[in-house]
Amino acid sequence: MSEPTAPSVPPTPPVPLSALLAREDLGLRQIAGPPAPDTVIHWAHTSEMADPYPYLLGGELLLTAGVHVPEAAGAGAYFEDYVSRIVAAGGAALGFGLAPVHDAVPRALVAACDAYGLPLLEVPPRTTFSGVARAVWQLMAQARLAELRRVTEAQQSLAAAASRPDPVPSVLRQLAQRLSAHALLHGPDGTVIASAGRAPVPGTQEALRKLTAVVRPDTGPPDPPREAPTSATDALGDAQLAAYALGGSSGFVLGVATRRREPADHTIASVAAVLLSLLTGEHQSGAGAARSSALVRLLLGAAPAEVAGLLGNGGRWLVVHARPENGTPDPVGAAALGAALGSPLIDLGRDVVRVLVPAGREPAAQPGWTLGVGAPAEPDGWPSADAQAARALARARATRAPLVRHGTRPGLTELVPRADAAEHARALLAPLAAGPALTETLRTWLSLHGSWDRTAVALDVHRNTVRQRITRCAALLDTDLDDPDVRMELWFALRQG
C-alpha cells in the first residue's frame, strides 16, 4: 500500500483537545494516548465504518459508538487495524460513546490507542455526538474571533509604529513583540540592516540569512533572471522561520523566527512586510529625501512652483480626494490607496485621504473607496484643483458613484472674460459671503439638481439642515431658487469661486 498523503486540514483555527475536555457540560474523559495539550482538532466526524480511512480528511475527532465492533474483537487484531487506519488517515483523536452498544470502552481499544499514540476519549451516555460537534464549532468560532482581534490590534500598532520618527526599527520592534519573535531586515546585499527581539534558538540569524536568499530576486545569470517566490518558510529545531520579499525587485527581505507558528502570524508578518516595503522603497529610491527637501523649502517660504520639480514630475498634477466606503481612513489603507494610484504623496485626514498624482497617471476607481478627481493643474493651481476634487468627491458620494472627475470641457463660461465673470460672481454672491456653509450648501444643492436627500448625504448633515440653509440663501439673495434662470446664473457665479 502506498504511503498516505499529508492530511488536508481546513484553513480554520484548530481547537486544543484540552479545551474540549475542559467543557464540564460534555463530561469527556481521556483514557489513552498522549497528553491533551499536545493535540489539536479541526473538526468532529461521526462514523460507524469498520475502516474509516476513506472517509477522513485529517485533523478530525472521530466519534463512534462501536456499532461496527464484532463480538470477538477483543481476542484478535481488530482494534489495532482500526486504530492504525485512523492514524494513517491523519485523525487527531477518537471519541468512544458508552451505551447503547457498549457499557465500557474495550480494553483492547485502549491498548491500541496507547500503542499508536492516538488520544482516546470516553463519551458518557448523557452526551450526544452532535453536542460534541457543536462544542467543537463553538470553540472554533471563539478561536477565529480571537484571531481576528489579534490581527486587528497588530495592524493598528504596526501602522502607528510606521509613523514614528524611526519607522523601520519601530515596525520591527512591534512585529517582534506581537509575534514573540526575532525579526531581521536584510538589505539587497544580504546584510542585516536592523533587528529586534531575541533569537529563539542558536543559529537563527544564519538560518534566516539562507532563507532570505530563496526570496531575494536574482539579478544575475541565467537570462532571464530566476523569478523568486514572495515568501518562504523553514524550521530550525523548534523554531519556525519565514522570509518575505519587500517591494518586488528592491532586494530587501524581512526574516522572522518564532518559537511556534500561530494561525495569524503570517497575516501579521505580511502587514509588516507591506509597511516595510513602503519605507525601504523610499530609502532605496531617494524619493523620500526629495519630498522632505520639498517640504522644508515650502516651510521656508518657497513657492510651490519652485519645489514641484523635487517631487519627480515636471508637468501637471491631479488632486484626488478619497473616502473609504466603510469607517474612517487609516494609515495602512491610505498607503495602499497611494500605491494603487501610483503616488506616495498622501495626506491622511480625519475623514478623507488626499493624494497628489502625476497627471499622466489617470486614476481609476478603487474597491472600497469613493474618489473625487480635480482637473490637471500646475503647482500654482493646486488649491483650485483641491477644491474641485472635494466637490467631485461630494458629488460621487451623493450619487453613489465610485469615481467622479471634475469637468474640464470648455463651455459658455469661456466666452466671458475671467475678470468680468469673477467680479459678477462676487457681486451676486456677496450676501452669502459671511456664511461659507451657506455657499457650499447652495453649490452642492444646485449640482445635485435640488435634491435634499443627496445634498444631505454629500454634506453629512440632516436634510432639514439643507432645507433651512437653502431657505436662508433664497432670503439673503432675495430671489426665487425654483426659477431655472436663477439657478443657472447662480451656478455660473459659483463656478468662478
Task: Return the minimum-mean-pLDDT range out of 89-98, 105-114, 194-203, 313-322.
Answer: 313-322
The C-alpha cell 440663501 sits at 473
Q: Pick from 89, 87, 91: which is nearest to 40 by CA?
A: 91
What cell numbers appear for 135 in the block? 462544542
CA dist 43 and 9 (Å) reads 9
CA–CA separation, 486 and 479 (whole Å): 8
Q: What pLDDT, on a 0 to 100 scale, did the predictor assign at position 93?
A: 96
> Rounded to whole angstroms, how far apart are CA atoms 135 and 192?
47
Radius of gyration over every alpha carbon of the chain, rounded to an integer in angstroms: 33
Q: Which residue has the higher pLDDT, 421 or 390?
A: 390
3 state SS of 326:
coil
pLDDT at 244 over 50: yes
Average pLDDT in the 346-369 region? 85
Q: Note whether 15-139 and 316-405 share their fold.
A: no
- Torsion angle, alpha carbons of 30, 34, 39, 43, to 10: -50
Q: How many CB atoms lie within 10 A of CB 3?
A: 6
Predicted pLDDT of residue 283:
46
Alpha-carbon distance of 397 to 422, in angstroms, equals: 29
- Summarize the confidence of residues 460-472 as an average pLDDT: 91
| Residue 409 in grid coordinates | 470641457
* SS3 at position 399: helix
Higher pLDDT, 248 or 336: 336
pLDDT of res. 222: 47
- 124: cis peptide before it, omega within 30°? no
CA 196/CA 175 separation, integer angstroms: 8
The C-alpha cell that represents 206 in the structure block: 544564519
Instruction: Let me know: does 341 contact 357? Beta carbons within 8 Å.
Output: yes
Is pLDDT above 80 for 188?
no
pLDDT of residue 177: 92
CA 284 to chain centre: 25
> Residue 478: left (phi > 0), alpha (psi -120 to 50), or beta?
left
Mean pLDDT, to the nearest integer, of 385-405?
88
The reply to whether CATH 2.60.40.1930 applies to domain 15-139 is: no
Q: How confident is the model at residue 329 (pLDDT cuts 50, 70, 90)?
A: confident
Q: Where are the beta strands (DSSP E) in 67-129?
A: 93-97, 120-123
* Cis ω for the linkage preceding 200 (within 30 of 0): no
Q: What is the DSSP letter of 260?
A: S
Interval 389-409 mean pLDDT: 83
- The set of cell numbers assigned to 151 is 490581527
pLDDT exceeds cutoff 90 at 260: no
- pLDDT single digits (tens) 114-156: 999 999 999 999 999 999 999 999 998 888 888 888 888 888 8
pTM over 0.75: no
> What whole-number percentage of the chain has pLDDT above 70?
85
Q: What percent of the chain has pLDDT over 90?
A: 33
Q: Is the pLDDT of residue 194 over 90?
A: no
**With 0-12 CB in 10 A as exposed, 13-18 as middle and 19+ as buried, what is 220?**
exposed
Q: What is the pLDDT of residue 299?
A: 65
Q: What is the pLDDT of residue 247?
A: 67
The pLDDT assigned to 46 comes to: 95
Separation between Cα atoms, residue 291 and residue 287, nearest integer Å: 6
Dihedral sign computed on CA atoms, order 89, 91, 94, 100: negative
402 upstream amide cis, omega within 30 of 0:
no
Average pLDDT for 483-490: 88
- Give 154's Cβ-side CA count (13 Å radius): 26
Mean pLDDT throughout 7-16? 65
Q: What mean pLDDT comes out for the span 329-334?
A: 74
Can you say whether residue 484 is alpha, beta or left, with left for phi > 0 and alpha for psi between -120 and 50 degrees? Answer: alpha
Match 472521530 to its residue by C-alpha cell. 62
Q: Which fold has domain 163-285?
A: Beta-Lactamase (3.30.450)
CB atoms within 10 A of CB 472: 16
Length of the chain: 497
pLDDT at position 68, please? 92
* Residue 401 C-beta-side C-alpha neighbours within 13 Å: 16
pLDDT score for 175: 93
Q: CATH number of the domain at 316-405, please?
A: 3.30.70
pLDDT at 59 over 50: yes
CB 338 within 8 A of CB 355: yes
Position 67 scores a pLDDT of 93
Mean pLDDT estimate for the chain: 83
Highest mean pLDDT range out of 108-112, 301-305, 356-360, 423-427?
108-112
- What single DSSP character describes residue 245? E
pLDDT at 82 over 90: yes
Name the E strands within 25-132. Answer: 29-32, 40-41, 43-46, 60-64, 93-97, 120-123
Query: What are the domain boundaries of the chain?
Result: 15-139, 163-285, 287-312, 316-405, 412-495
Residue 283 grid coordinates: 530609502
Return the residue matching grid coordinates 482516546. Answer: 120
Give per-residue pLDDT as tens, 198-238: 888 888 888 888 888 888 765 444 444 556 678 888 988 88
Q: Does domain 412-495 have CATH number 1.20.1560.10?
A: no
Question: Which has more confidence, 413 or 174?
Answer: 174
Among 41-55, 277-291, 373-387, the range of highest mean pLDDT = 41-55
Provide the residue type at 400 as one letter. R
